[in-house]
Amino acid sequence: MIIALTGTPGTGKTSIASILNKKYEIETVHIHSFAKQEDIIEDFDVKRKSDIIDIEILNDKIIKNVNQDSLIVLDGHLSHLLSCPSKVIILRCNPLILETRLKAKEWNKEKIRENIEAEILDLIETEAVELHSMDNVVEIDTSNYSINEIAKIIYELVTSNFLDKAKYSPGTIDWSEMLLKDEFSWMVD
């Protein structure tokens, strides 16, 4: 079973994937590293300071190079855009906490704004549900849990074949009211 572990940058994907790999011995593939290794970086977005990856080629390469019968977690904010995962786990985070995390990464104001807006507007959730259906998508709020606690929740979901997925149904997390508040430093010009 291939599982996409996705979410807005800063929600904890890579840290949690590392725990899933080390503690729970689940094979993980970091999408960006895989794309570099397979030489499928198309270009560089100077404004966002990020690589541009061709999703179709990435999907084909993963299907070709990853054992579809093994339990594998694809770690990356693009993983939900691939057709190969059978399940999608979206990590969510309170936008105020997310802002703090992205500032700690020393991201520029515009990139922080873009990612917080994506989180508030459920962008990744919307894309994942469109591509994979509600039945194959779960979302977990990482705001008040440690990465070890989230990794354990994911491990239990995966090993139970997503038996308790109703608790994590898409649409249960809603940050949209935050658009009306003036709590974000990036909103002040």
Residue 113 lies in a domain: no
pLDDT for the residue numbered 47: 79
Low-confidence ranges of the chain (pLDDT < 50): 188-189
| pLDDT in the model for residue 5 | 98
Q: Is residue 101 part of a domain?
A: no
Task: Provide CB contacts within 8 A for 105, sequence distance 6+.
Answer: 10
What is the C-alpha to C-alpha distance for residues 86 and 84, in angstroms, rounded to an integer? 6
**Full domain range(s) for residue 37:** 2-95+123-174
Q: Which of 97, 80, 100, 78 is nearest to 89 (CA)?
A: 80
CATH number for 54:
3.40.50.300
The per-residue pLDDT for 69 is: 84
Question: Domain for residue 115, yes or no?
Answer: no
Which pLDDT belongs to residue 165? Answer: 86
Number of domains in the chain: 1
Q: Which two tokens stand for residue 31?
A: 């999408």
Any domain includes 189: no
Does 103 reside within a domain? no
Structural domain includes residue 22: yes
Residue 59: name the closest of 20, 33, 85 by CA.
85
Q: Would you say residue 74 lies in a domain?
A: yes
